[in-house]
């Protein structure tokens, strides 16, 4: 009995098909021919029309995906790879750009860090308090330091225009910084090999030390500061102003006072970490919380060294 043949004109190719020739004794069904039909021509025309549309749609989806990736990917620069040579580099995990701030409305300091800083100032209040950098949270410390002097130095015009001082004992000054973060290691080499950068050199206007900030408001040099907080400038990318000069200058100021606490924020970043070790010294570290380090510096303005020479060997 011959096999059942299903009529499916729309699915067959345009060429005719015949089963292989067999002997009469082997033939169990009649030969069948599939011929062109109007449906096959329609199918061929439809394919030719749909394929370009599908290619266009897939190409558009690929482009949209690339645009989405470009817009949503956060750029985090391994600052150390630019600022420091290979022998001084740490693993990439040691640098984090996740906590950089782009506006005065973003949280600059964690609650546990702020509590540590607030407790420090409360213990010393009323005191002379100097900030490199200004954030909305820091303005609240003016009330903690009631009756003391509060001075903020800031280079960001946006912050200066949006953050308002509401205390007669608090002042804000606009300052400028000329060294980008990518120059960190060159400046460190300069400081190590230049006697004008030693602690006993001070912050004279004629200083030849490239790290010395000698054009700050006059009040900054005249006051003996009890607490100096370094949280500026930004320093969150190689081309951004770095904190090399502010950490160095804070170290000089601290050694010219009686006993000064220097607070450095963002110590998860390599420049803040290395410059703190270089000029504030790990043996002076009295407390830390999160990314906030507190160093206690005593009067050592006649010293020729910032830190004792321990012969530390830095390994990768």
Q: 105 or 167, which is more confident?
A: 167
Query: What is the average pLDDT across 177-192?
Result: 96
CA dihedral 64, 68, 69, 74 (to 10 degrees): 160
Instruction: Report the C-alpha gap between 272 and 243 in whole angstroms.
Output: 7
pLDDT score, position 267: 97
Cβ contact 302:260 at 8 Å: no
Quick check: 91 pLDDT over 60?
A: no
CB neighbours of residue 246 within 10 Å: 28
Helices marked H in the chain: 38-72, 79-83, 111-124, 136-139, 141-144, 157-162, 184-192, 218-222, 244-256, 270-279
Q: Is the pLDDT of residue 224 over 50?
A: yes
Q: Please tell me whether the overall predicted TM-score, pTM, comes out greater than 0.85 for this model.
A: no
| Cα 22 versus chain centre, distance | 79
Q: Which two tokens stand for residue 259?
A: 């006993």
**Is the pLDDT reported for residue 243 higher than 60?**
yes
> Smallest Cα–Cα separation from 160: which of 233, 212, 110?
233
For residues 262 and 273, what is the distance between their CA atoms, to the nearest angstrom? 13
Token pair, residue 54, equals: 């599908």
Q: Please state, in angstroms and rounded to a whole number, the distance separating the CA atoms of residues 176 and 141.
A: 24
pLDDT exceeds 60 at position 256: yes
Q: Is the peptide bond before 93 cis (omega within 30 degrees of 0)?
A: no
CA distance linking residue 295 with residue 185, whole number of Å: 22
265 alpha carbon, distance to own chain's centre? 13
Q: What is the pLDDT of residues 17-41, one digit of tens each?
A: 444 444 444 444 444 444 454 555 5
Q: Count of H helices and E strands in the chain?
A: 10, 7
């Amino acid at each position: 009995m011959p096999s059942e043949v299903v009529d499916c004109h729309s699915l067959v190719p345009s060429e005719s098909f015949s089963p292989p020739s067999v002997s009469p004794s082997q033939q169990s069904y009649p030969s069948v021919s599939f011929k062109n039909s109007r449906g096959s021509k329609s199918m061929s025309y439809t394919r030719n029309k749909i394929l370009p549309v599908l290619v266009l749609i897939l190409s558009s989806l690929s482009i949209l995906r690339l645009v989405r990736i470009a817009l949503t990917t956060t750029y985090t620069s391994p600052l150390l790879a630019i600022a420091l040579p290979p022998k001084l580099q740490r693993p990439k995990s040691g640098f984090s750009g996740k906590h950089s701030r782009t506006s005065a409305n973003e949280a600059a300091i964690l609650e546990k860090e702020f509590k540590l800083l607030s407790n420090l100032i409360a213990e010393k209040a009323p005191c002379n308090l100097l900030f490199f950098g200004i954030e909305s949270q820091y303005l609240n410390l003016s009330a903690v330091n009631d009756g003391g002097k509060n001075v903020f130095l800031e280079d960001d015009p946006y912050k200066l225009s949006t953050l308002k001082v509401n205390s007669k004992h608090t002042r804000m000054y606009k300052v400028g910084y000329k060294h980008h973060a990518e120059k960190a290691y060159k400046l460190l080499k300069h400081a190590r090999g230049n006697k004008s950068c030693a602690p006993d050199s001070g912050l004279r206007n004629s200083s030849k030390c490239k790290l010395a900030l000698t054009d700050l408001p006059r009040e900054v040099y005249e006051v003996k500061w009890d607490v100096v907080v370094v949280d500026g400038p930004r320093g969150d990318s190689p081309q951004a102003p770095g904190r090399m000069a502010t950490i160095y200058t804070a170290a000089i100021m601290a050694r010219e006072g009686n006993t000064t606490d220097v607070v450095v924020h963002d110590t998860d970043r390599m420049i803040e970490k290395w410059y703190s070790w270089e000029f504030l010294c790990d043996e002076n570290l009295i407390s830390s919380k999160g990314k906030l380090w507190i160093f206690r510096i005593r009067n050592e303005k006649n010293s020729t060294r910032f830190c004792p020479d321990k012969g530390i060997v830095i390994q990768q």
